Amino acid sequence: MSLIGRPIGGPFEISPEATQHISWLRRRLLSWFARNGRLFPWREPGRTPYEVVVAEVLLQRTTATGVVRTYATFVERFPSWLALAQAPVEELENALRVCGLWRRKAQAFQHLAQSIETNGGVPETRKDLERLPGIGPYTASAVLAIVYGRAEPLLDVNMARLLGRFLGPPECIEVKPKRALHAYALRLVRSKRALDVNWAALDFGALVCRARNPLCPECPLRARCQYARSRRLKPTSSEGVL
């Protein structure tokens, strides 16, 4: 997963109407997530910072389904940054082979582990996180959100697609879409349950608001979704309110 580039320029002001729609969206996503959210080992409570960062690096350019096949074995085989830093690259490559891009990820893991061992732990600021090898904006956001409990949006292609479709393009044509998306995502996760909101948006984008063949006719958001309206989908009598 990757962050949809950071916006350049001043803050984007969200309209009162969009703010209300985002609050409505947040509630519906959390309700949907309670029944349909995906279960992954790296989402389990009590995961250490090491286990969280390992999962996020594994998820770079690899599907969650692919990471599931190797995550538990990997963290058992390499239980700490020190173990990763001292492991031969060939051993890391063999452990990562089922994920694809194993050579690149093996080197990335070793360099990252060595840097964290040198620095004495996982940094707590975005600036310091993004200085680490292999840690980009999205992974930094994930660490801040999951490890340190910050209200950071995990703005990947799934969340961006969901927000873009649900809210439609910004009313002001001078506003670049990236600025609007970042503002919408920040507003979406402004919640005491910010992490659950993040995971709900990611899962909903992956399972319902898909890039190809989105499940619009059965989508619980279609009553207020701009994309659904553009496709002229009419709510049915069976539409449930989450």
Residues with a catalytic annotation lie at: 56, 138, 156
CA gap 222, 21 in Å, rounded: 12
**Residue 20 contacts by C-beta under 8 Å, 6 or more apart in sequence?**
none
Burial class of residue 184 (count of CB atoms within 10 Å of its CB; 0-12, 13-18, 19+)? buried
Dihedral (Cα; 225, 191, 204, 136), 10-degree rounding? 110
**Structure tokens given for 126:** 């975005």
Name all contacts of 218-222 with Cβ < 8 Å and 24+ positions apart.
Answer: 220/28, 220/31, 220/32, 221/25, 221/28, 221/166
In total, the chain counts a number of residues equal to: 242
